[in-house]
Amino acid sequence: MKITIIIISVFILCLGNIYAQQPAQYSTYMLNPYVYNPAYAGLDESLSMTGVFRKQWVSFPGTPTSVHFNAHMPIEYIRSGVGFAIEYDALGAEKNINLQASYNYIIDMGESGKLSIGASGAWLQKTLDGSILRAPDGNYEGNGIDHDDDLIPNAKMTASTFSASAGIMYKHRLFSVGVATNNLPAPTISLEAGNVAQIRYVRNYFLMGQFNWQINRDFSLHPSLLLKADFDSKLQGEISAIFKYKDNIFGGLAFRGYSNTTTDALVFLVGMKITKQFTLAYAYDLSVSRLSSFNSGSHEVVLNYNLGKKIGKEIPAKIIYNPRFL
């Protein structure tokens, strides 16, 4: 039995009322804003599909493994964007599935950019495998499992619920900024009959910004910022900068944390456009927290496909002039 999984999972369960962890961490958030803000749907100007795989804190047993896929596109005829996402996130004895669909209204402000206001609905499923947990006073001799703790299930338990998110984003050719929140109703699920083990999904807030600076004809700089908070006890900040060469090959650095208690990792990121439609990127997190002695870093791969052309029809002008009479 992996002792790290036991320690982490039992510690969480013994809180009585369990609070779901913050959303999965992604170091490539600047390449995939939709992962945190549903209002981004359609702002890539065409059909955009992104897949992400992340393995966090490699060689540290029971640490997070996240897989995320999303697709979104604009519907210009009705000034809107639609999107869909699916995410699988595993941590110790926990497994989480998130299915999300979103809609947003896009206000085209011409040269001033676009303002998007969006919302999404989600189906959340959580599975807890109590058979791999170990409690201090439990009895595990032979093939039997007796945790001697009513808060820890003896077998695998699964429950699901519905939630909602909302966001707003402004995108200009020089910069973009957005705010969003998930788990608006803060739903609660029960993993066992009688509401013995309850889990409440905490409402989280996100602030994301990015600036685009064209240094010269070949090079550009793209600094970005991400803040995640639950306005209760958790705040996570990350700042990054990416250099691009001819809008094709790129690389950069990021740092996650802002104090002695929140410092987490130094991130190295590289990527390139494989073809006109496909972009591939890789991020390596070098752990600089107190966990650095117990892991060999985190790995993240992201692949994006952008169709690169308009889909459907645009909104017709209010006045259509007959060219015969011009």
% the chain with pLDDT above 70: 84
Inter-residue contact 38 to 104 (CB < 8 Å) = yes
Question: What's the whole-number mean pLDDT along residues 189-195?
Answer: 66
Continuous segment of H or E residues that includes residue 13:
helix 3-13
Residue 35 has pLDDT above 90, yes or no: yes
Asked if residue 19 has pLDDT above 60, the reply is no
For position 134, what pLDDT does the model report? 73
pLDDT at 176: 97
pLDDT band, residue 150 (cuts 50/70/90): low
For the chain, what are the domain ranges? 3-314
The DSSP code sequence of 192-219 is: STTS-SEEEPPPEEEEEEEE-EE-SSSE
Q: For the residues 5-16, what does the mean pLDDT come to?
A: 41
- Segment 263-271 shows an average pLDDT of 94
Contact 135, 12 (CB under 8 A): no
Distance CA 279, CA 64 (A): 25
pLDDT tens across 296-309, in order? Answer: 899 999 999 999 88
Nearest to 263 by CA among 254, 253, 272: 254
Model confidence at 221: pLDDT above 80: yes
pLDDT digits (tens, 9 = 90+) for 42-59: 999 999 999 999 999 898
Any idea how long the chain is? 326
Q: What pTM was estimated for this model as a whole?
A: 0.85
Structure tokens at 5: 């999984």
The secondary element (H helix, E strand) that includes residue 149 is none
Note the pLDDT tens digit of each residue in 76-121.
889 999 999 999 999 888 899 999 999 999 999 988 899 999 999 9
Report percent pLDDT > 90 for the chain: 58
**Distance between CA atoms of residues 94 and 47, nearest Å:** 33
pLDDT at 10: 39
The CATH number of 3-314 is which of 2.30.110.10, 3.40.50.10470, 1.10.274.10, 2.40.160.40? Answer: 2.40.160.40
